[in-house]
Amino acid sequence: MKRQLLALAGVCALGVSVAAAQHITAAGATFPAPVYQKWFDEYHKMHSGVEVNYQSIGSGAGIQQLTSGTVDFGASDMPMTDAQISKVKVHTLHFPTVLGAVVPTYNIAGVTAELKFSGEALAGIYLGDIKKWNDPALMKDNPGVKLPAEDIVVVHRSDGSGTSFIWTDYLSKVSPTWKSKVGANTSVSWPAGLGGKGNEGVAGTVKQTPNSIGYVELIYAIQNNMAYGSVKNEAGAYVKASLATVSAAAAGAAKEMPEDFRVSITNAPGKTAYPISSFTWMLIPSEIPDAGKAQAIKAFLQWMVTDGQKMTSALAYAPLPKEVVAKETKQIAMIK
């Protein structure tokens, strides 16, 4: 009898363990994918019953999957528009996760100097107006650097991408021509260039293509040992992306963060601000029918904005400002 009771207790304990296990699905931005994978792995080590399967498929596809209800939450580097939010059955909450930078990365044989780019020059390259590396606009940005008389091979994202939104949002702010002809979005009609899927695809194409230029999230340039340039900011200073310069770009926005967290910090003011910086967001439904899953997601978010932030710097992301963390902590309670 005692043995039967012990066996029954074991089955019950197993039942509780199985019931508590939560398999959460998510999809979206490639921009923060390295830190997300780190977080999900580390959190699973501490909470073996919670497993997050994240598909790094681009912000546009992440929003689509959230809208269709095929994932538990999405991720995007572009805040959802009012129109996109209206198409989701359950109201979507935006949770800033980290700060990152999009950098112009290039592959030019024989050029070892760190290049500098004005916004006007980057817009000219991506519009197809600046075609040669030794164009006067690039020579002006880089006095003393011997740039070759070679055609520039432009590389951009082929998929719906929050990284593209950050890049085109910046170009729209610094170039009236870009704003009127192309605009800012996750997907645009590119005037010139080759397409690569994901930050990984753009990085790979630039690395394999002589005389090319592309844009990737900072960690992808670092991990692939790729050259990337400084960019002229609103104050007129050429600034290289780093944890400090990305944090400087967010400083003003952090104090005046809107209640829904939807904000752009490209071309932010400040002499030390890197101009192509951005928050990135997890897109969480405010109502989750599975109570266990809801609690697991809320617990993860609380860990993410506290202990998880300590892991960001090692992967070249800037942690969230304390003002943003305080507001997010309150928003977590809104998930039911």
95 and 122 belong to one structural domain:
no
53 and 158 belong to one structural domain:
no
205 and 294 belong to one structural domain:
no
125 and 222 belong to one structural domain:
yes
Could you write out the DSSP letters of every residue in 240-283?
A: ---HHHHHHHHHHHHHT--TT-----TT-SSTT--SSEEEEEEE
106 and 245 belong to one structural domain:
yes
pLDDT tens column, 118-150: 999 999 999 999 999 999 999 999 999 999 999
Note whether residue 251 is domain-resident.
Answer: yes
pLDDT tens column, 288-301: 999 999 999 999 99
Note whether residue 140 is domain-resident.
Answer: yes
Decide: 28 and 72 in contact? Cβ < 8 Å: no
Which long-range contacts link 301-306 to residues 24+ away (Cβ below 8 Å)?
301/95, 301/328, 301/332, 301/335, 302/329, 302/332, 303/43, 304/39, 304/97, 305/329
175 and 50 belong to one structural domain:
no
pLDDT exceeds 60 at position 238: yes
Decide: 184 and 168 in contact? Cβ < 8 Å: yes
In the numeric block, the tokens 């400090």 are attached to 244
pLDDT exceeds 80 at position 13: no
Question: Last residue of some domain: 255, 286, 306?
Answer: 255
Residue 113 belongs to domain spanning: 101-255
CATH classification at residue 307: 3.40.190.10
Note whether residue 16 is domain-resident.
Answer: no
What confidence score (pLDDT) does residue 20 get? Answer: 60
Tell me which of 77-86, 176-185, 193-202, 248-257 is least confident: 248-257
233 and 136 belong to one structural domain:
yes
68 and 115 belong to one structural domain:
no
120 and 174 belong to one structural domain:
yes
